Amino acid sequence: MQKGFTGRGTMIKHIRKSFAQSKECHHGGRFREAEASLGCEPLDFSANINPLGWPPIQEVLLSEMQKLGHYPDNKYLELRKAAASFVGVEPDNIVPGNGSSEVIRLFVETTLVKEDTAIIPFPTFGEYENQSRLFGAATRKTMLGPFGQVNLDDSVLEDAKALFLCNPNNPTGCLLPKNQIEELARRCERHETFLLVDEAFIELSDPDQSVARQAPEMQFLVVMRSLTKSFGVPGLRLGFGVTNGALADVMNRARIPWSISSIASAAGVELLKHHEHLEKARSLIRTELAWLTDQLERLGLKPAKSSVNFILMDIEPAGLSSGELARRMMDKGILIRDCRSFGLGEHYIRVAVRNRDENEQLVAALQSILCIE
């Protein structure tokens, strides 16, 4: 059988080197793949989204479907207004994105060129490193402190072009208080180092710790939010960045035209009205986080203290590797996140916090694999 082109010719030499050398970035939430192999829907603890799912937005979706014959408004005025009032800034400070992933990409494309250095905490979400490397930047890792603190010397900040910070952090679940981030942001201003604060999960934790409102007043700060996580709609693809007007203007011009569908944009305007949905979710998460953490400890595992809707845990006491445990859980129809791709070695997994019934199923499956009565 004739094979397609495999990439061994000369073409590869002619494309952007950093792209040719890129590696796949691993993520959780491979629901469809698992569904195809299991022949039924898995219970997904590998992606961390609002355990209540999404608020009622069907009417908006259906009405917007009648308008598919038109392009979306490429300025996304309604969406930017809704996002601005949600976080308490002006629409000119908002950069909408096709998922907050697009905001990471735009931030990197806007700020980093070949041989710049980006500082990336360890461990954290893989896309900061992935995207920085795609654009040729060197990445420098910095170990997070035991409470998630970022300890950086002035000389390191001075040499870097950008610093990424995930608050609360994925996968550790640590939430840094607002005053620590503000202090870091002020240091970044002094050193003219761009700071991206990824607040994808903050609505499911403690939104009072957000620094989004400070971003318009600073030159080098970009804060981002993900509607995916907050409103339980990963399939919709919607997020936004918050920054000063000048930088927002540049990022909005650099964005691929119409990158957000009209359906996602209209749904976003509606979703952002549902504050009560977020309050309910936070209350559920608080209760379930405490319950699940306790249950995991009773199984002899070592869950890290988390402030959000997921738990990182050390499973070494179970005597199984993370890959093996993930495989066995998958056989039971449950997806968990094997954390090897975070660089954490063989003994860490991360699980989402879901509702009580689902959390009980998780605990029961773990119990039967670990043979605990």
Note the residues at the interface with ligand PLP (CB under 6 A). 27, 99-101, 125, 166, 170, 198, 200, 226, 228, 234, 239
Closest CB to ligand PLP among residues 224, 366: 224
Closest CB to ligand PLP among residues 100, 259: 100
Query: How far apart are alpha carbons 314 and 221 in whole angstroms?
Result: 34
Query: How far apart are alpha carbons 352 and 172 in whole angstroms?
Result: 12
Query: How far apart are alpha carbons 262 and 144 in whole angstroms?
Result: 39
Closest CB to ligand PLP among residues 161, 350: 350
Q: DSSP assignment of 168-212, as one string?
A: SPTTT-----HHHHHHHHHHHHHHT-EEEEE-TTGGGS-GGG--G
Q: Minimum distance from CB of 170 to ligand PLP (Å)?
A: 4
Closest CB to ligand PLP among residues 200, 267: 200
Q: Minimum distance from CB of 97 to ligand PLP (Å)?
A: 7
Cα 270 to the center of its chain, rounded Å: 22
Q: Minimum distance from CB of 126 to ligand PLP (Å)?
A: 9
The pair phi, psi for residue 106, each rounded to 5°, is: -65, -40
Query: How far apart are alpha carbons 82 and 270 in whole angstroms?
Result: 8
Q: Minimum distance from CB of 232 to ligand PLP (Å)?
A: 11
Closest CB to ligand PLP among residues 160, 308: 308
Comparing CA positions, the residue from 358, 370, 363, 320 lying closest to residue 42 is 358
Q: Minimum distance from CB of 103 to ligand PLP (Å)?
A: 8
Closest CB to ligand PLP among residues 177, 235: 235
Return the sign of the alpha-carbon dihedral for residues 251, 170, 228, 206: negative
Q: Minimum distance from CB of 95 to ligand PLP (Å)?
A: 13
Helix (H/G/I), strand (E/B), else coil: 253: helix
Cα 221 to the center of its chain, rounded Å: 18
Sort strands 194-198 and 162-166 into parallel, antiparallel or unpaired. Answer: parallel
Closest CB to ligand PLP among residues 166, 334: 166
Closest CB to ligand PLP among residues 72, 232: 232
Closest CB to ligand PLP among residues 135, 240: 240
Sort strands 221-226 and 310-314 into parallel, antiparallel or unpaired. Answer: unpaired
Position of minimal CB gap to ligand PLP: 99
Q: Minimum distance from CB of 173 to ligand PLP (Å)?
A: 11
Number of Cβ atoms within 10 Å of the Cβ of 16 = 12
Q: Minimum distance from CB of 369 to ligand PLP (Å)?
A: 26
Query: How far apart are alpha carbons 87 and 84 in whole angstroms?
Result: 5
Q: Minimum distance from CB of 189 to ligand PLP (Å)?
A: 23
Name the residue type at position 367. Answer: Q
3-state secondary structure 103-121: HHHHHHHHHCCCCCEEEEE
